[in-house]
Amino acid sequence: MTPAAVRAALARFDRVHVGHLPTPIDALPRLGAEHGVDLSVKRDDCTGFAFGGNKVRQLEFYIGAAVAAGADTVLLTSAIQSNFMRTTAAMAARFGMTTQLQLEERVPDVDELYRANGNVLLDRLIGATFSSFPEGEDEAGADAAVNTRAAELKAAGAKPYVIPLAAGHPPTGALGYVDAAAELVDQMDATRSRFDAIVVASGSALTHSGLLVGLRALGCDIPVLGVAVRRDAASQAMRVARRAADLEDLLGWPRRVTADDVRLYDGTLAPGYGRLNGPARRAIQDAARLEGLFLDPVYTGKAMAGLFEAAGKGAISGRLLFWHTGGQPALFAYGDKLFEAKDA
């Protein structure tokens, strides 16, 4: 399949176009030399809308569906410092919709800075309204609470659109990363270059699975290593495989993604989602100090740290492409934790 054929397949789905695409690929020679790797970065932190990030590509399809349905309110559940919620609120506002955000308690022992700054501050500026959900690892329960609120809004005459969290729903957002795979193949063809491995943070699995499905449909066999940022490698591998299969079904494509394609590394996950550790802190500091590149504490800091560790163990080698998924606003919610001298 060609990039043009992939884009033709995606054209069947409702979509809005707000991202600044294609995003550039930059070399990171000083950071790479510091850690003994040949390193470049795909700058999806530069997707251009509402501080950018990977969620812009995903939300072009979710908000496209909401607009097509005539929605006036978008509802979403996620972590307090969610990049997804910030970008959802901004994109919904851009198309004349309000947003209701359900904040999950995923990260323990957080302070007032975490609850008020970073993405939360931006959500408030946009005008989103908030509710709370006490659990951080109950996706079905969180979705049920949002759907209950949506039913109340509908009964009152509103037209709500729910973006689901749990994996039992069509992976609409992953379509954005099928498109991103075609973009990458075009960029490699234009420069007559190739990467030997791609490394990306793997959480909801929409970005990870979308890249896999898109690359394999295009006949590109570059390995994609997902660095687990929310659950252990075995659990995340099952989620990625399921999301990839769901996505191929959504597109009506044959199953091309195999078990061997689903590669995860969880060595930089501890102590858990949204909690900094030493390797992630060093990756954040090194990227800023050596390249002027800002990583975030939840996703890209841990993913870059995972890239360095995986390369050091021989799990990946050659020309490496780090897929920067954005998330920098969260830095301002972790300002008191970025320079601690000693930790795991």
Domain boundaries, the chain: 3-53+171-333, 68-163
pLDDT at residue 167, as a whole number:
86
pLDDT at 217: 98
Domain 3-53+171-333 classification at class level: alpha beta
What is the per-residue pLDDT for 344?
44
DSSP 274-300: T---HHHHHHHHHHHHHH-----TTTH
Tens-level pLDDT at each residue, the chain (344 residues): 999 999 999 999 999 999 999 999 999 999 999 999 999 999 999 999 999 999 999 999 999 999 999 999 999 999 999 999 999 999 999 999 999 999 999 999 999 999 999 999 999 999 999 999 998 889 999 999 999 999 999 999 999 999 999 888 999 999 999 999 999 999 999 999 999 999 999 999 999 999 999 999 999 999 999 999 999 999 999 999 999 999 999 999 999 999 999 999 999 999 999 999 999 999 999 999 999 999 999 999 999 999 999 999 999 999 999 999 999 999 999 998 998 755 54
* DSSP type of residue 230: S
- Angle at CA 80, nearest 5°, toward 74 and 85? 30
Helices (H) and strands (E) in the chain, counts: 12, 10
Q: Any idea which residues carry the catalytic annotation?
A: 82
Same fold, 3-53+171-333 and 68-163: yes
DSSP codes joined into one string, 63-125: HHHHHHTT-SEEEEEEETT-HHHHHHHHHHHHTT-EEEEEEE--SSS--HHHHHSTHHHHHHH
Tokens of 324: 């920067």
CATH architecture of the domain with residue range 68-163: 3-Layer(aba) Sandwich (3.40)
